[in-house]
Amino acid sequence: MNQIKPIALLSLCFLLLTPGCKDSKTSTESVSTAVTAGPAEAPVGVKSRSAFPNQIGSYVFDGLKTKKHAWGEAYSASYKSPDKDKLKVVINDAPPKGREAWIPFFAAGDTYKGRPMALDKKPGKLTMMIRVGDRFRVDFKTRTADHIALRAAADSFDFEAVARLAP
């Protein structure tokens, strides 16, 4: 029994000293997370930031989140105005042809700059939805502004940048 302990200890030392193993000290050096160019195109999630401008009207970019769903992904950018008003812009990406659940929103046939558009009004929340091709839907959301402010935000948004996200 006494011989097993030294063998177990030696085995543990061997594993810890194996080349490539390093201690767990935290480094303050910056680490590059850049994606190197290769033959494959960058995934849409990596490219999605390019579709969101740094400023939309008086709103300034404040962050980006990605949510994965069974139907695709949603890229959600937050914006703040100088008076602390908030705007959320969401690019819903449901390849290849969008979602059937979107169809009822656009049944009225309203358009914005030639694209299908819908307003969804709920207590305390207003969403202006604009289709970009079959695959994408861009939502402009607010809890404090009205549809005129949402249209103004949409006026300075580049919908072609969204269309370019598709491979």
Q: Domains of the chain by range and CATH?
A: 44-163 (3.30.200)
pLDDT (0 to 100) of residue 7: 53
pLDDT (0 to 100) of residue 5: 54
Phi-psi sector, 63: left (phi>0), alpha (psi -120 to 50), beta: left
Hey, what amino acid is at 139?
Answer: D
pLDDT of 13 over the 90 cut: no
pLDDT (0 to 100) of residue 26: 32
At 58, list the tokens. 């008086």
pTM score, whole prediction: 0.71
pLDDT (0 to 100) of residue 12: 42
